[in-house]
Amino acid sequence: MVAIPHLPMHLQPRRRRLPLIVILIISLVFVLGFRLCSGAGRLSGPWRIAPPSLSLSVPPRGRRITKASMLYGPRNAIYERALQSHARHAERWGYGMEVLRHEIAEGYWNKPSYLLALVIRELGRAVGERVEWFMWVDADSIIINPLIPLELFLPPDSSSPSSRGSSGPGPGPLDTIHLVATKDHKGLNTGIFFIRVHEWSVRFLIESLAYPTYNPSTDLGVQVDQSAMERVLNGSAYRGNVTYLPRPWINAYEWKHAFEGRKGDMLVHFPGLDGERWAHMRRWLDVVEVGGGGWSVPVEQTGFGDGARVFWERVERGRRIVERFGRGSGSGTGEGRKTGKKGKEREMEMEMAVEELKHVLYEQPYQGELLQQRIEAWRRISAS
């Protein structure tokens, strides 16, 4: 008997007595069983694995991301609808979504308290079953383009070849970014941000929550949680673990007179509109709930793919320089060390260039051109 090369074994003619239908049923049961088994972990976790995407502008592996928000008190139909827009977005891409429905702390402290609980809960799960990132979204934000996947805005993880460090095993330069946020003219905005499920985040949130206790004389203003987080992030133990995206990417504002974003942007946020907020939010909801206004733009047509890739590559380059220089300096064996006066001068120049690079890298990496200049300046000096 001649086997036909391209047919699987069980389909080869006259090899088996089992009728095809029985084999099909067995395979079906097997596949279904496998699905259910692998689904068991998922059902208990708040996330699901994102469907594979064919788009090249999207990172190859779906990340386990869960959106988190809070909404309690008297029923508010506008906020409910806003959260529904997030739920639809999460559903489309396979993210989880969790909403705190009862107060667990005082006012603004609910947010960091809830996040702390979520992060600790995830850390208590097996690594493969954990959510990797939480995306915090305030209820006064609406997804206006659900075709944008969140993965773009997170540091590509080092298991993807493009971001694997040349320095070999161990965390890559982007793996130690644990918070991805945005700033506005007043500083950190915590309406929308990503936080990694990591021990760092536990420490950061605890320290933020404890801030007023240990700094009773500091006036934290109205948004106490935001001010506390900003101050904690300013400390040397946290500063290098944050990256600030161009704000409109994930946190475009609606001003009183207009939306600051463009068609294709993912989200609109309504901070500081006071009483006018409701009319603005209702107008947006009425449009996006019926998919109107041309706000839904496929990611390939938005430029976010390239923009995000360039952003993360630049940040990675910068972090790699800082990392390498940090390892070398102080030990007397760092790169390009020379003896004598000339060497000393050059060393000081390099140190200054790294400090200037660090400042942009840690405080305003969204200024792409500026970051690029700092990287090139360092290269020029280190190559001289």
Ligand X SMILES: *[C@@H]1O[C@H](CO)[C@@H](O)[C@H](O)[C@H]1NC(C)=O
Residues binding ligand X (CB under 6 A): 176, 200, 230-231, 234, 240-241
Helix (H) or strand (E) holding 66: strand 65-70
CA–CA distance from 83 to each of 80, 111, 142, 272, 285 (Å)? 5, 15, 7, 19, 11
Distance CA 93, CA 147 (A): 9
Q: Which is nearer to ligand X, 12 or 234 (CB)?
A: 234
For residue 360, give Cα distances in angstroms to 138, 250, 255, 274.
27, 20, 27, 33
Beta carbon of residue 10, minimum distance to ligand X (angstroms, whole number) = 49
By C-beta, is 145 or 190 nearer to ligand X?
Answer: 190
Integer angstrom CA distances of residue 162 from 20, 60, 156, 165: 44, 11, 8, 9
Least spacing, CB of residue 358 vs ligand X, in Å: 9
Rg (CA), the chain: 25
Element (H, E) at 179: strand 179-184
Sheet with 141-143, strands from edge to edge, namely 141-143, 267-269, 252-253
Cβ-based nearer residue to ligand X, 94 or 240: 240
Query: CB of residue 176 vs ligand X: minimum separation in angstroms?
Result: 3
Q: Closest CB to ligand X among 193 and 200?
A: 200
Residue with Cβ nearer ligand X (80 or 199)? 199
Hey, which bits of 80-171 come out as E strands?
Answer: 96-100, 133-137, 141-143
Q: What is the smallest separation between the CB atom of 101 and ligand X, expressed in angstroms?
A: 32
CB of 155 to ligand X, least distance (A): 11
Find tokens 């536990």 and name the residue: 202
Please identify, using beta-carbon distances, which residue of 98 and 230 lies nearer to ligand X. Answer: 230
CB 204, min distance to ligand X, A: 10
**311 vs 325 by CB, closer to ligand X:** 325
Cβ 124 to ligand X shortest distance, Å: 18
Compute the least distance from the CB of residue 177 to ligand X, in Å: 7
Write the CB contacts of 28 (distance below 8 Å, at least 6 apart in sequence).
Answer: none
Question: 228 is written with which tokens?
Answer: 């506390």
The smaller minimum CB distance to ligand X, of residues 55 and 215, is found at 215
- In angstroms, the CA 183 to CA 366 distance is 9
User: CB of 153 within 8 A of CB of 233?
Assistant: no
> What does the alpha-carbon distance between residue 274 and residue 364 come to, in Å, rounded to a whole number?
29
CB of 181 to ligand X, least distance (A): 14
Q: How far is the CB of 239 from ligand X (least distance, A)?
A: 7
Sheet holding 242-244, edge to edge: 96-100, 65-70, 133-137, 187-196, 179-184, 242-244
- Of 150 and 197, CB closest to ligand X: 197
DSSP state of 148: -
The residue whose Cβ lies closest to ligand X is 240
Q: Which CB sits closer to ligand X, 234 or 372?
A: 234
Q: Which uninterrupted H or E stretch holds 307?
A: helix 304-328
